[in-house]
Amino acid sequence: MTEPGISRHVTDTDWDVTRSVPATLDGRHDAPVMTRVVPHTDRQAPELRHDQSIACLVTNGLNAYFGDRHAVRDVSLGLDLKSVTAIIGPSGCGKSTLLRCLNRMHETVPGARTTGSVTLDGERLYGDGTSAIAVRRHIGMVFQRPTPFPTMSIRDNVAAGLRTRGAGMPSRSDIDAIVQDALRRAALWDEVKDRLGTGAIALSGGQQQRLCIARALATNPRVLLLDEPTASLDPASTQHIEELVYELRSTVTVGIVTHNMQQAARVSDRTAFMLDGELIEVAPTNTLFTSPRDTRTESYITGRFG
């Protein structure tokens, strides 16, 4: 493709839209997003973003295994408060597994286990007496493919997480308010407000994914984890979700796994690069994509492998 290392927007081979548009920088999906992202990432002071004290979700020496397979190796990473942290890397590098350790979903796979620590605002997620159920109520997750509950209406889908909160179900009017708020935050309200009682399965793929984001937000989590949330969506829906993620950083800490470097560049404040289960480098997004310290990072972002 183009000369490596010139700009993060033209070196990527992973981005479907730009591949079909000859002049990438003028590509219709890239241009508007770039103008918005660049000032933002420039605004970040790198020293501040590295400061561990404001990190909301922190892993320390985290290892994850599937049986004998060592999928995540000694990762220490912080997801900062009210910011978006992207985790990138080639397929099979352990980035999804790492994400799934953060809300204890990893252990739902038979034979899977973890060592090391994960803390949420200083509280140990893997400590004695901390239940995985409680952890997941504070740390929401959205998956690669949209997963609306097919038997439930749009409204019931969004409210699905509320009924798990121990202290009884909120009143009907409270639920309506929570549902509306969550759908607004997920930028879906205007499209579905007239058909909240209809089945969620009738929505388009992109709408279903935003519904899943709304469902995760309804319980007011402190952290939202997104595992390749746009991998199964078309470019227009992808852009919609990316704009949404960008908005969400003001209210919730976001961790997003993607193997689309363009996406990481557009939506995240910090980016972590993983390879073979190891965390190679983590830096403010702008820095990581323009002047990576590690040669492996540079090789990856310039499209030499992966």
Partner 1 sequence: MVTLTYLAAVLATLPLIFILFHIAKLGAHSINFDLFTRMPQPVGEPGGGMANAITGTLILIGIAASVGVPIGVGAGLYLAEHRNSPLANTVRFLSDVLNGIPSIVMGIFAWELLVRPVGHFSALSGGIALGAMTIPLVTRTTEEMIKLVPNALREAALALGYQRWRTSLVVVLRTAMPGIVTGALVAIARISGETAPLLFTAFGNQFWSTSLKQPIAALPLQIFNYAISPYDEWHSLAWAGALVLIGIVLVISIAARLATRQRFGAVID
Footprint (CB under 8 A) of partner 1, residues 205-234: 212, 215-216, 219
Asked if 192 touches partner 1 (CB under 8 A), the answer is: no
Stretch that binds partner 1, among 43-51, 69-77, 118-126, 144-152 (CB under 8 A): 144-152
Asked if 160 touches partner 1 (CB under 8 A), the answer is: yes
Contact pattern for partner 1 over residues 76 through 115, marking x by CB under 8 A: ---------------------------x-x--x-------
Considering beta carbons, is residue 13 or 108 the nearer one to partner 1? 108
Tokens 């350790």 found at: 101
Please count the residues of this chain forming the interface with partner 1, following the rule CB under 8 A. Answer: 29
> How many CB atoms lie under 10 A from the CB of residue 195?
13
**CA-based angle 136:100:221, to the nearest 5?**
30
CB of 305 to partner 1, least distance (A): 29
Tokens 């992966």 found at: 306
Backbone angles phi, psi at 274, to 5 degrees: -115, 150
Footprint (CB under 8 A) of partner 1, residues 163-182: 164-165
Q: Contact positions toward partner 1, by CB under 8 A?
A: 103, 105, 108, 133-134, 136-137, 140-141, 143, 145, 147, 149-151, 153, 160-161, 164-165, 198-202, 212, 215-216, 219
